[in-house]
Amino acid sequence: MPFCGAESRRWARGLRRAGGVALVAMLAMASPPAFATDITGAGSSFGAPIYGAWGAGAAKATDIRLNYQTIGSGAGQNQVKARTVDFGASDAPMTAAQLQQNGLVQFPTVLGAIVPVVNLPGVDGSHLRLTGPLLADIFGGGISMWNDPRIAAENPDLTLPAMPVAPVRRADGSGTTFVFTSYLARVSQRWAHEQGSGTSIEWPVGEGARGNDGIAAAVRNTEGSIGYLEYAYAAGNHMPIAQLRNHHGDVVVAGDASFRQAVTTAHWSTDASHSADVLDGDGAGAWPIMAATYVLIPTDRTDTPQGQAVREFFTWSMAHGSEAAVTLNYVPLPDDIRASISSLLNAH
């Protein structure tokens, strides 16, 4: 199924041109290590399952061993800026200026979805319908009871309990939070003005939990709760996922079909950030809270064994990692963009 059409092809051409000879030189692929090489990465919990799968596959195919630390996107950016890891991983992309300032190259690896998960006694949470503005009011404190008339209006076929809403949000710096709050800011002017978006914000209400695993555990153990998770964690934990009304006006269910519909409306940046905007797409049937996750590689480590091994690892992943991505409920990058990333990583 084709993704993104002419826009992704323009993005891919821009990626090939970006930085010209200098960028190609920074990412130049040297001869692969003759012996097993250990590399370390840190950051995004959103991307942790796919990096784990790619690590297992690459260890057999390339003799590169990956140690990936799930510490959150904000910490991942800080670690790679400090050069304490070989690559960072973040769901919040850096700007072109930030990349230049910190001597980093950034590229996307996979796309995925953020989903609202609920624990609502007496109600099948997978049948609950919500909207972006309702989520903004829930996490902003404007809705405090599940039988609020605004939620009831979206769910005329459900009997909602007279129970307090218990929002659960990330306590650590998180790319998942960046994506979720960016979506809320896009669909709610009040949220944009009062809370804004970021990997870490001042939440007006709710209980904090660390990591996707922490959110999943807190929602599972708290009646009346609602949280936000990367889809792979929600699906893997068999948690009820609420349906969402999208920009097009459709009520959509989280899953492969709605994720792929969202990717068809992605807007791919042609600057050095190589970022993708998949939020609140206006396509029919599109899941509204989508994002890419990114890798950050230092440009001053290209001549080290670890620097070479990082590039070889992601070259292998771009070529052979799509099946694992689909299995783990991610959406692989469009073919032309994966090819462009591989070309840069393998350039001489």
What are the tens digits of pLDDT across the range 264-287? 888 888 888 888 889 998 889 999
Name the pTM for this structure. Answer: 0.79
**What's the pLDDT tens digit per position in 310-348?**
999 999 999 999 999 999 989 999 888 888 888 777 763
Q: How far apart are CA 343 and CA 217, in angstroms?
A: 41
Domains and CATH numbers, the chain: 5-111+267-275+291-346 (3.40.190.10), 114-262 (3.40.190.10)
Question: Which residues are 110's β-sheet partners?
Answer: 293, 332
How many beta carbons lie within 10 A of that of residue 277, not counting itself? Answer: 17
**What's the pLDDT tens digit per position in 208-238?**
999 888 999 999 999 999 999 989 889 888 9
Lowest mean pLDDT among 153-157, 180-184, 212-216, 246-250: 212-216
Give the whole-number percent of the chain exceeding pLDDT 70. Answer: 89
pLDDT for res 95:
93
**What's the pLDDT tens digit per position in 289-304?**
999 999 999 999 988 9
Report the DSSP pairing between strands 276-277 and 290-298. unpaired
- Higher pLDDT pick, 270 / 194: 194
pLDDT band of residue 1 (cuts 50, 70, 90) is: very low
86: DSSP letter: S
The H or E element containing residue 332 is strand 331-332
